[in-house]
Amino acid sequence: MRLIVSNRSGTPIYEQIKSQIKEAIFSGELIEDEMLPSIRQLARDLQISVITTTRAYNDLEAEGFIYSVQGKGNFVLPRSKELARENALHKIEVGLMTTIELAKVNDVSEKEIIERIKILWEEGNEQSVTV
């Protein structure tokens, strides 16, 4: 698993850790029951405070992504389809918002956008068929 944190991004570090772990879970890179690095080990490796990693893991546990076993460590919970879908929907919305704003600024109508979506969706299907 690849975990990189940046001091310079606007997001708090514990948020960065959380979203990267969630991504890894959604993409299947982290599988069910896989063990995560310990809170202290992670803090050492990333050279950040133990409190930060503790907070990230606590949040992830509260949100249902991981579970902890006393004395053993933290593990990945089975991927919930609904959560994955929700996550994807959220991303789609963000992308759509960007598209819509761009359209409005450049006088592209709603109808044109929907047309484009239909065309690109078909092309996407054809590509996956030929592959």
Partner 1 sequence: MSSQSQSKALEIRSLRKSYEGFTLDNISFDVPNGYITGFIGPNGAGKTTTIKLLLDIAMADSGSVRVFGEEKSIYLNNQIGVVTDEPPFADFWSCDDLESVLSAFYDRWDKLAFDSHLKRFEIDRKKAIKELSRGMKVKLMIAVALSHDAKILVLDEPTSGLDPVARDEICTLLGDFICDEKHSVLFSTHITSDLEKIADYVVFILDGRLIFNGSKEELIENFVHIKGGRDELSVEQRALVIGIREHGTGFAGMASISDIEKLPNTAVYDPITLDEMIIYFNKELKNNA
Which residues in this chain contact partner 1 in the complex, by CB under 8 A? 7, 10, 12, 14, 40-41, 43-44, 47-52, 55
Q: How far is the CB of 56 from partner 1 (least distance, A)?
A: 11
| Residue 62: alpha-carbon gap to chain centroid | 16
Q: How many CA atoms within 13 Å lie on the side-chain side of 124?
A: 6
Q: How far is the CB of 51 from partner 1 (least distance, A)?
A: 5
Q: How far apart are CA 2 and CA 72, in angstroms?
A: 22
Cβ burial of 25 (10 Å; 0-12, 13-18, 19+) is: buried
Q: How far is the CB of 12 from partner 1 (least distance, A)?
A: 7
Residue type, 93: E
Q: How far is the CB of 38 from partner 1 (least distance, A)?
A: 9
* Closer CB to partner 1, 16 or 24, in the complex: 16
* Closer CB to partner 1, 48 or 108, in the complex: 48
* Closer CB to partner 1, 4 or 105, in the complex: 4
Q: How far apart are CA 117 and CA 123, in angstroms?
A: 10
